[in-house]
Amino acid sequence: MADEIIDLIIKTSEGEEKSVQALFNVLYDDLKGLAHRIKFDWRLAETLNTTALVHESYLKLLSSKRLTAQNKLHFYRLSGRAMRYVLHNYLEKRQAQKRQGDFTEVGEHIQIPVLESNNNLQNLEGVLLGLKKLEHEDKNMAQVVECRIFSDMTINETAAVMGNYPATVKRKWSFARAYLSKNIKNCA
């Protein structure tokens, strides 16, 4: 199965149309589970459609022109990063259209209901803004956050995909959580 996924990733990066759909079909349930966990963690049930998050993330991932995942775990890391950017775009559009209607468009054909006030969205916004700042200060630490929050990876999986020791990832994760927690308080 792992070899099949790597072959599909390679063929997809080379632009083979059938592989794009085949890769999506093979990984769809895992990606949907990842999106569901993100939705659950941020309690976004009323504001974010899991299917929309999966589809938009996958399209974003494929639009990068060069899909360079070395293995399934690395693909999930890239998928988590894509979900992060889809969520970031969603929050930006939500802020811009907050008073202009009942819906905001995330993708070409996907509309998501907008709620006027939601602390969890403010927390998510704080994390995304904090992560953006952290990325400028320490890119490696920001990657740890992406793996842990948006790819739902364990410390050991994060260490493996990043080529670090688990103790290093654990230390960076502790610092990053404190950093992001402070940022959330500043946004509230």
What pLDDT sits at residue 79? Answer: 86
- Joined together, the tokens standing for residue 3 give 């070899």
Beta-ladder partners of 111: 105
What pLDDT sits at residue 32? Answer: 85
pLDDT by 10s per residue, the chain, length 188: 667 877 887 787 777 778 878 888 888 888 888 887 776 666 554 556 778 788 888 888 777 666 666 777 888 888 888 888 888 887 777 766 665 555 444 444 343 333 333 445 567 777 888 888 999 999 999 999 989 988 889 999 999 999 999 999 999 999 998 888 887 776 55
Neighbours of 22 (CB within 10 A): 17
**CA dist list (Å): 125 to 78, 145, 174, 180, 185:** 20, 14, 20, 11, 11
What one-letter code names the amino acid at 186? N
pTM: 0.68
User: Residue 130 and residue 112: Cα distance in Å, rounded?
Assistant: 24
What pLDDT sits at residue 164? Answer: 94
What pLDDT sits at residue 104? Answer: 46
In degrees to the nearest 10, what's the CA dihedral of 120, 183, 78, 173?
A: -110
SS (H, E, C) the chain: CHHHHHHHHHHHHCCCHHHHHHHHHHHHHHHHHHHHHHHHHCCCCCCCCHHHHHHHHHHHHHCCCCCCCCCHHHHHHHHHHHHHHHHHHHHHHHHHCCCCCCEEECCCCCEEECCCCCHHHHHHHHHHHHHHHHHHHCHHHHHHHHHHHHCCCCHHHHHHHHCCCHHHHHHHHHHHHHHHHHHHHHHC
What pLDDT sits at residue 135? Answer: 92
Q: How many separate domains does the chain show? A: 1
What pLDDT sits at residue 45? Answer: 45
Instruction: Spell out the residues 6+ positions from residue 98 whose beta carbon is closer than 8 angstroms to its own.
Output: 114, 116
Which of 98, 83, 20, 91 lies closest to 50 in space, CA to CA? Answer: 83
What pLDDT sits at residue 23? Answer: 82
What pLDDT sits at residue 59? Answer: 82
- Joined together, the tokens standing for residue 145 give 């956050």
Show the domain range for 95.
Answer: 2-187
What one-letter code names the amino acid at 99? R
